[in-house]
Amino acid sequence: MSYYILSLVLLFSAGAIGVQTPMSPAKAKAAKKLFSQKCVKCHGSDGTGKTIFGQIAGATDLTDSKWQDKADDKQIVNSITHGRGQMPSFEKKLSKDQIAQLAQYVREFRR
């Protein structure tokens, strides 16, 4: 019984500090497709932001390890949801689950 309770505490604690479980292959594929449809124009398929639109808009380099360390998961979700600078809001265009998947996908660009 105590092992079960300890397991639950550890599981919920990990979630509270932003540790994420890996996406299933189906969700990873869906997140990649969403990124291609909604984000590539500015951030590029490699996440560097080195596209014409990205340079004009000042798109964040998602591969930058300093940025990855500084931005927590909640900030990434907030930026996708509400927009930031010239980045549009996706609150009314994507579900919360899709936004969470995109945020997790952004972490895949960490170098």
* pTM greater than the 0.75 cutoff: yes
Q: What is the pLDDT of residues 57-94, one digit of tens each?
A: 999 999 999 999 999 999 999 999 999 999 999 999 99
pLDDT of residue 18: 47
Q: Across residues 37-51, what is the average pLDDT?
A: 97
The answer, yes or no, to whether residue 109 has pLDDT greater than 70, is: yes
pLDDT of residue 20: 63
The answer, yes or no, to whether residue 43 has pLDDT greater than 90, is: yes
The answer, yes or no, to whether residue 16 has pLDDT greater than 70, is: no
Query: Count of alpha carbons within 13 Å of 106, Cβ hemisphere only?
Result: 27
Higher per-residue confidence, 10 vs 80: 80
Q: Which of 86, 71, 88, 90 shows the shortest CA–CA distance to 31?
A: 90
